[in-house]
Amino acid sequence: MPEPAAWRYQKITKPMFDIPTEDCILAGRVLTMAGDVIEDGFVQIGGGKILAVGPRADMPKGHVTETGGTIMPGMINSHAHLNWDGIHDLARQSMDDPKPMSAFKAAGNMLKSLRAGITMVRDLGFHEMNLYSKQAVEQGIFPGPRLKVCGAAIIQTGGHTYWVCREASGPDEMRRAVREQVKGGADLIKIMACHDTLEFTDAELEAVIDEAHRNRLPVTAHATYDACINRVAKFGVDCIEHGGSMSDETIALLLEKKLPIVTTFAPLVQQSQPEIARKFGIPDWKIEERIKAVADPSRYAGLKKAAEAGVPIVFGTDAGSPAVEHDVIAPELAHMVKVGVCTDNMDALHSITIRAARLSKMDHLIGTLEVGKAADVIVVDGNPDQDLFALERVRTTFVAGKRMHG
Name the residue with higher pLDDT: 65 or 270.
270
pLDDT band at 67 (very low <50, low <70, confident <90, very high): confident
| Alpha helices for 238-282 (secondary structure H) | 248-257, 266-271, 274-277
Between CA 27 and CA 40 the distance in angstroms is: 8
pTM for the whole thing? 0.95
Query: What mean pLDDT comes out for the span 105-115?
Result: 98
Nearest to 138 by CA among 3, 47, 45: 3
pLDDT band at 197 (very low <50, low <70, confident <90, very high): low
Query: What mean pLDDT comes out for the span 293-315?
Result: 96
Q: What is the pLDDT of residue 2?
A: 42
pLDDT band at 232 (very low <50, low <70, confident <90, very high): very high
Between CA 301 and CA 20 the distance in angstroms is: 47
Query: What mean pLDDT comes out for the span 20-37?
Result: 96
Q: What is the pLDDT of residue 1?
A: 40
Between CA 73 and CA 375 the distance in angstroms is: 8
The answer to whether 332 and 315 are in contact (CB under 8 A) is yes
Between CA 208 and CA 179 the distance in angstroms is: 10
**Residue 189: left (phi > 0), alpha (psi -120 to 50), or beta?**
beta
Q: What is the pLDDT of residue 269?
A: 97
Is the pLDDT at 299 greater than 80? The verdict is: yes
Nearest to 190 by CA among 135, 122, 290: 122
For residue 277, count other CB atoms closer than 10 A to its CB. 20
Q: What is the pLDDT of residue 118?
A: 98
Is the pLDDT at 381 greater than 90? The verdict is: yes
List, in order, residues 6 or more apart from 17 with CB less than 8 Å away: 140, 141, 142, 143
pLDDT per residue over 117-132, tens digit each?
999 999 999 999 999 9
pLDDT band at 7 (very low <50, low <70, confident <90, very high): very low
Is the pLDDT at 158 greater than 80? The verdict is: yes
How large a percentage of the chain has pLDDT more than 70?
95
pLDDT per residue over 324-334, tens digit each?
999 999 999 99
Is the pLDDT at 175 greater than 50? The verdict is: yes
Mean of the per-residue pLDDT values of the chain? 94
Is the pLDDT at 191 greater than 80? The verdict is: yes
Q: What is the pLDDT of residue 65?
A: 83
pLDDT per residue over 393-402, tens digit each?
999 999 999 9
Query: What mean pLDDT comes out for the span 17-40?
Result: 94
How large a percentage of the chain has pLDDT more than 90?
91
pLDDT per residue over 275-289, tens digit each?
999 999 999 999 999
Is the pLDDT at 43 greater than 70? The verdict is: yes
List, in order, residues 6 or more apart from 171 with CB less than 8 Å away: 203, 204, 206, 207, 208
Query: What mean pLDDT comes out for the span 367-388?
Result: 98
